Structure 1
Amino acid sequence: MKIWLVHHGGEPTPSDKQQMRLRRMGMLAEAAIQRGHEVVWWNSTFLHINKTQRFDTSCTIDYSPQLRLNYLHARPYEKNISLTRIRNHQDLGRNFAKLARQEPKPDVILCSYPVPELCDEAVRYSRETNTPVALDVRDIWPHAMLDMMPASAQPFARVALSPYYRMARRVFRDATSICGITQEFMEWGLAQGRRKKSDSDRVFSFGYQPLDLDSAQQSDASKFWASQGVGVDPSVPVLCFFGLVNHQFDFKPVFEAVQRLQKNKRVQLVICGKGESIEQFRQQMSGNPDILFPGWVNAEQIWELMQLSSYGLAPYVDSPSFRGSIGNKPIEYLAGGLPILCSLSEGPLYRLAETEQCGFAYQGCAKMLETKLAALLASPDSHRALVGNARSVFADRYEASRVYGGMVRHLEDIASCGRSGYSSAVA
């Protein structure tokens, strides 16, 4: 079977030179290949993670006999919320529409949502060729874009974004299958398409494949963290974060809580990554040697940091988009045996941490975070219980082969049923 995976460029591909682990589309491609399928992975020339341009024009790399990488040229952008980024997405849709019709027809398409422009063209192609298409909902655009804007600007922004609201309704109405990383996101997609749930509509969380470092990789990563002063004293608890340090995360309660805890006990906070807020935070915390900003770190260093840490931070801004999501980061923490410190006050991540006792929620409150952490730091047995729960939850729900093997089987099923899916139902 020939599978098209269509994505906007937020993930690394196997041909990238940087040391970055494969994420959802990459692991899904691997799972499909293991089941004997051919994969054409449509991606952007522009890599969102580090804002770099891979190629100056659209191009194709035949990476292996079963994996073809089609890169769609799209202009670069610096700011996540910008007109240039919208134009980047328009580039992707336009170039996909042009180049897709030059490829042999697939048996099934999976397209990640967002971005709407790419999904719109993928669904249009599926209608023209009678090819089943599944949309993989990872965020609630354009609603999430509206939430990022000041309240005073939202009425005007809603008018400006009205074409995207119409686009969302169209693509979810006409898709064969709506998948979501959570139940909430799948239901949001169904609501946009004004359709009832059918057997074609499923939830597939993010999955993660734990790293198995060889002795040289482990040694190099350990030396790196020792050079940063992390893990040198095993009695010092470490809180870690890795990702884009930007407006999507609220670190103020974290800094306040950690600084209060440090008055009575040494605690290290390690924030890895780049982003628009990192230099500001470096300056603010420059007098605190136990709040560290090591910058971008590779996959091996991330894995080793999790082995040295006690907790993983998920300090999301409290917005509808994050309240409905369980992103890559918390699942990665669980894979490393790290209890999750969740900033949210409701939603699936909040329920996961609290109900499964694999972390706790502090609801954006510095005092709550300080109080709960202080109690856990004084109770090693309680921490060990959270670690055990984190590992069990990961093995049961989020291990990559379990998640993406199921996702490939779902694509096989909808391919066999055709574009109408198992049983389409429009409300």
Structure 2
Amino acid sequence: MSDIIILANFCFDFSENDNGRFLYLANMLAKKHNVEIITSDFYHTEKRMRKKAAAKWPFKITFLHELGYSRNVCLKRFYSHYVWGKNVKACLEKRKKPDVIYCAVPSLSAPLAAAKYCEKRGIRFIIDVQDLWPEAFQMVVNIPVISDIAFLPFRKMADGIYKRADAVCAVSQTYVDRALRLNRKCDHGESVFLGTNLETFDTNAANNSVSRDAEDELRLAYCGTLGSSYDLTCVIDALYIVKKKGVQPPKFIVMGDGPDMERFRKYSAEKGVDAEFVGRVPYDKMCGILKSCDITVNPITTGAAQSIINKHADYAASGLPVLNTQESKEYRRLVKNYRMGFNCKNGDAEDLAEKMTRLIGDPQLRKEMGKNARRCAEELFDRSNSYLRIINLIEKE
């Protein structure tokens, strides 16, 4: 039995509906090991301080103080992560020596402190790369030369974490490759998609089913953040184009919240697009709403650093075809190879509208592509199988 720390800044709410990667891993590991999740007392998703874990779990949860922030990209956020990193360092210094630290990256200050702590004491340090920092921030604050200089300290921090890792895991092969460019300890890394538990998804969808009349209009689903990385404007423009061409467009069902929610809502109204913004919904209800739709859309802005993300698993699990504008080569290959939807030109509403129209007019094509999407979920996104590779990585002596 090993003593394992899971260090993760951005955990969800630890409720019974929490579909987070680290809660799932902790549950699996706690069957054989002593497990402690060390996370922040600031809940990033809702930009508020946590109260306590919303359910009882067979492992320890330690909340360390973070200042908090109101926007995803702001100076206060960087300082907040710096403070949390200092608190993580102090916590590790006081705690008894663990056997393994499994560390989510980002953020950066705490993982770097953990990497140095493990290096000094001969503790196995495994990273799980969830996103690329500072690359993701530079997409938002992209000022030639100035941004490169401003983010250089963060790049050095990330490089310092990558090179110290004894093992590398990531949510996509793209992120694995980024870490391995700096790492000389590992021959290869493990690419394990965020995924979802298909049995849980199916149960949630069945228990929260949404009734539809046969004559109802089609529904186009989006779930996720409503922010600068997600090009819902292009989707709204595409729906407007479809309507102008005399085709009945699907109703746009938008699940999620974020800083641009009102802007997207206002824009859809200006364009006369039938869009329903349902806000952030619990995961179990999201499964039901998503399953009731006909097509999904994955509209990510040009230059985005994201690769394989949460919504890809849920979209595939729903058994619906996807319209994808994301430039990630890794995800575009999945869409093409599984023939589970259409890859569209990034930011091109005309191209998105043309491929949307093909799906609208061909129920059999929607059905076939939906079956292929579900097959992709079963083969690549089902946590009950894929996460065993992470467990094996952690338990490896």
TM-score (norm 1): 0.85
* Residue of structure 1 in register with 2:113 after alignment: 121
1:334 and 2:290 are equivalent in the alignment:
no
SS of the aligned residue for 1:285 comes to helix
- CA, structure 1 residues 38+13, in 2 after alignment: closer, same or farther (shift >3 Å)? farther
C-alpha distance in structure 2 between counterparts of 1:234 and 1:33, whole Å: 49
Name which of structure 1's ranges 274-283 and 388-397 shifts more when overlaid on structure 2.
274-283
- CA, structure 1 residues 62+130, in 2 after alignment: closer, same or farther (shift >3 Å)? farther
Given candidates 195, 198, 218, the residue that maps to 1:237 is 218
1:261 Cα deviation after fit: 2.2
- Show CA shifts across 1:312-353 (max 9, x none): 22111122512xx11011111111112222112451111111
Contact 1:3 1:37 in 2 (8 A): yes
* Residue of structure 1 in register with 2:8 after alignment: 7
Given candidates 394, 399, 402, the residue that maps to 2:385 is 402
How many residues matched?
391
* Residue of structure 1 in register with 2:229 after alignment: 248
Contact 2:67 2:80 in 1 (8 A): yes
- Show CA shifts across 1:112-134 (max 9, x none): 11111011011112113211011
Contact 1:340 1:358 in 2 (8 A): yes
* Residue of structure 1 in register with 2:282 after alignment: 298
CA RMSD after TM alignment: 2.3
Equivalent residue letter for 1:12: F
* Residue of structure 2 in register with 1:54 after alignment: 50
C-alpha distance in structure 1 between counterparts of 2:53 and 2:313, whole Å: 32
Given candidates 388, 391, 394, the residue that maps to 2:374 is 391
SS of the aligned residue for 1:167 comes to helix
Identity %: 22
SS of the aligned residue for 1:5 comes to strand
SS of the aligned residue for 2:302 comes to coil
Equivalent residue letter for 1:248: S
Contact 2:303 2:327 in 1 (8 A): no
* Residue of structure 2 in register with 1:131 after alignment: 123
Contact 1:62 1:69 in 2 (8 A): no
- RCO (CA 8 Å, sep 6+): is it higher in 1 or 2? 1
* Residue of structure 1 in register with 2:40 after alignment: 44
1:70 and 2:62 are equivalent in the alignment:
yes
- CA, structure 1 residues 163+212, in 2 after alignment: closer, same or farther (shift >3 Å)? closer
- CA, structure 1 residues 204+411, in 2 after alignment: closer, same or farther (shift >3 Å)? same
Contact 2:129 2:176 in 1 (8 A): yes
Equivalent positions of 1:21-420 (< 5 A) are: 21-34=18-31, 36-55=32-51, 63-64=56-57, 66-150=58-142, 153-191=143-181, 193=182, 195=184, 197-199=186-188, 201-210=189-198, 211=200, 221-222=208-209, 231-233=212-214, 235-262=216-243, 263-286=246-269, 288=272, 290-319=274-303, 321-322=305-306, 325-364=307-346, 365-413=348-396, 416=397
Equivalent residue letter for 2:234: P
- CA, structure 1 residues 40+347, in 2 after alignment: closer, same or farther (shift >3 Å)? same
C-alpha distance in structure 2 between counterparts of 1:395 and 1:213, whole Å: 12
SS of the aligned residue for 1:39 comes to strand
- Show CA shifts across 1:208-259 (max 9, x none): 01336779x956x45xx66xxxx34554211111221000111122111112
1:90 Cα deviation after fit: 0.5
C-alpha distance in structure 2 between counterparts of 1:12 and 1:369, whole Å: 33
Equivalent residue letter for 1:244: T
SS of the aligned residue for 2:19 comes to coil
C-alpha distance in structure 1 between counterparts of 2:361 and 2:183, whole Å: 51
Unaligned runs of 5+ residues in structure 2 are none
- CA, structure 1 residues 290+102, in 2 after alignment: closer, same or farther (shift >3 Å)? same
Contact 1:334 1:393 in 2 (8 A): yes
Name which of structure 1's ranges 153-162 and 39-48 shifts more when overlaid on structure 2.
153-162
- Show CA shifts across 1:103-158 (max 9, x none): 232221111111110110111121132110111112111122222213xx242222
Contact 2:229 2:304 in 1 (8 A): no
- CA, structure 1 residues 203+214, in 2 after alignment: closer, same or farther (shift >3 Å)? closer
C-alpha distance in structure 2 between counterparts of 1:62 and 1:295, whole Å: 24
1:194 Cα deviation after fit: 5.2
Equivalent residue letter for 1:27: Y
C-alpha distance in structure 1 between counterparts of 2:206 and 2:387, whole Å: 27
Equivalent residue letter for 2:221: C
SS of the aligned residue for 1:240 comes to strand
1:286 Cα deviation after fit: 2.7
Contact 2:201 2:287 in 1 (8 A): no
Equivalent residue letter for 1:160: A
1:160 Cα deviation after fit: 2.2
Contact 1:75 1:91 in 2 (8 A): yes
1:197 Cα deviation after fit: 4.7
SS of the aligned residue for 2:102 comes to strand
SS of the aligned residue for 1:321 comes to coil
